[in-house]
Amino acid sequence: MNQKVLLTSKEVNIILNRLACQLIEKHLDFSETILIGIQPRGTFLAKRLKSILENDYQVPNIKIGFLDITFFRDDFRRTDKPLEANITKIDFLVENKKVIFVDDVLYTGRSIRAALTAIQSFGRPSGIELLTLIDRRFSRDLPIQPDYRGRQVDAINDEKVKVTWAEQGGEDGVFLINNNQQI
């Protein structure tokens, strides 16, 4: 598979630490803040950020949840393939908490719109922010922008951004792949 390396494992680690520091600057002790990984790929990033915040920066008791948006998407009925939902795991109230949505790639904004709808089932947050590792800034269908971004990528429509994680059996990395190639 022909792919261009956008971020190496070392660069991903540097960016994750920078994002963790930005979160600390804004949220300090995280007593009123919750990380919500958007299923499926945002969960890896959310878990990694939680680990960095707790282990490297001694921020205790960070609440983390995972939100499935499958049936909240505006395109979920437009496919012939059977849908496979992921598990939502939010075992705390989000009422009056600051929620930080965490996802690997911000592309059209439709996943985030679905997450905004889905989170309402768990209460009314006092605020919602968005953290994304990769921002494909010229691909937006909706007026959604990240509050925290690792890297901006300008990819044309027939290119995809692939994020890999060590937890998935590989190594951390971000790649640019032509859409005609298999991911």
Listed residue (35, 32, 31) closest to 52, CA to CA: 35
pLDDT mean across residues, the chain: 90
Q: How far apart are CA 109 and CA 121, in angstroms?
A: 20
Q: How far apart are CA 8 and CA 164, in angstroms?
A: 10
CA 40 to chain centre: 9
Exposure string (b/e) for 127-137, b if CB count within 10 Å is 16 or more?
Answer: ebbbbbbbbbe
Q: How far apart are CA 102 and CA 34, in angstroms?
A: 10
133: tokens are 């590792």
Q: How far apart are CA 36 and CA 65, in angstroms?
A: 5
In sign, the C-alpha dihedral spanning 112, 115, 119, 124 is positive
**pLDDT, position 155:** 80
Q: How far apart are CA 109 and CA 144, in angstroms?
A: 6
Check pLDDT > 80 for residue 102.
Answer: yes
Check pLDDT > 60 for residue 85.
Answer: yes
User: How many CB atoms within 10 Å of residue 36?
Assistant: 30
pLDDT band at 183 (very low <50, low <70, confident <90, very high): very low
From 20-24, 27-31, 47-51, the region with the lowest mean pLDDT: 27-31
pLDDT tens for each residue of 131-158? 999 999 888 888 999 999 999 998 876 7
Q: Kindly state the percentage of the chain with pLDDT values over 70.
A: 90
